[in-house]
Amino acid sequence: MMLEEAALLPVIDAHGVEMPFRNVYMPSNALEKKRVMVIFVRHFFCGNCQEYLRSLTSAIPSPSTIPDGTELVIIGCGSPSLITMYKEETSCPFPVYADPTKRLYRALGMGRTLNLGRNDPEYIHRSLLTGMFQSVVQGVKRLGEGDAFRGGDMRQIGGEFIFEASRDWKFDYGKQEGAGSDVDVKVTWCHRMRNTRDHAEIRVICRVLGLECDSDSEKHKSINGEAKWRRRRQPGRRWTVNLAHAMAVANGHRHSWSKLSKSIDAGKTGIFGKSSRGSDCTCDHSSSA
């Protein structure tokens, strides 16, 4: 029932041409099978979703790298007049459509939230502040076009769906041949976002598409098994190390910075829990000279 409702809902391309959503995944020829991954992004000014598409494009640089019979399509909930800008900002080589009514999002069970989630996803390599600043700049540039405030619902979140459809023509020899057809449509894989940074990771997208591609996280060499960018972007880590060191000095002994940093990463050193002289502390407890 969800698929039947969604099939008839309209999507709009960059030229303002409206078509039913089923045209995105419906095979055109007899006995043809078509497999389409549809990625539903948030509003067209969302910095997180733009980062996602940049990472996706880095891993899948063109439609020709996708297996035969498979396509990839992007749908956003803003004005179709922003599609050209969106593709330029993200270097996206895939078709992009708009659903400004959000009816398709609702029909396929996608929710609304402003929750950021607790974890930084692998596909984001810029800070939240940088992303917000870029979104503002993009909006200001569109003031002259009249669509600066038509990027879409900021609370709307999306997801990723794989639609597989096949068409088998039925010949009724009592009537005109080719008078009708049966189309089988299934969603064989899907992931609905739970927060504003919860797109399926690029390595997952590659796997379900049957691709062997390096995700952005694998391009960064690791330090002690931890990716460099994740280590660098770990929220509050530097502040935690500095505060732990200051409290240790106040307690009358010195700490090795490297040991203290590793101890905090491993969860062995408390900040406001046990005293820095307690059993959880793995650093040098000798008094300062």
> Does residue 82 sit in helix, strand or coil?
helix
Q: Collect the ranges in the chain with pLDDT lower than 70.
A: 30-31, 168-181, 213-289
Please tell me the CATH code under which domain 1-170+181-209 is placed: 3.40.30.10
Which ranges in the chain belong to alpha helices (H)? 2-7, 22-25, 47-59, 83-90, 103-107, 128-141, 202-209, 228-233, 237-250, 257-265
In the chain, where the domains are located:
1-170+181-209
- What is d(CA 58, CA 78) in angstroms, rounded to the nearest whole number? 24
Q: Residue 188's pLDDT is what? A: 96
> For the segment 237-255, what is each residue's pLDDT rounded down to a tens digit?
444 444 444 445 445 544 4
Contact by Cβ (8 Å): 44, 124: no
Contact by Cβ (8 Å): 59, 213: yes
The pTM score is 0.71
Q: Residue 212's pLDDT is what? A: 80
Query: CA torsion 245→128→226→262, rounded to 10°?
Result: 10
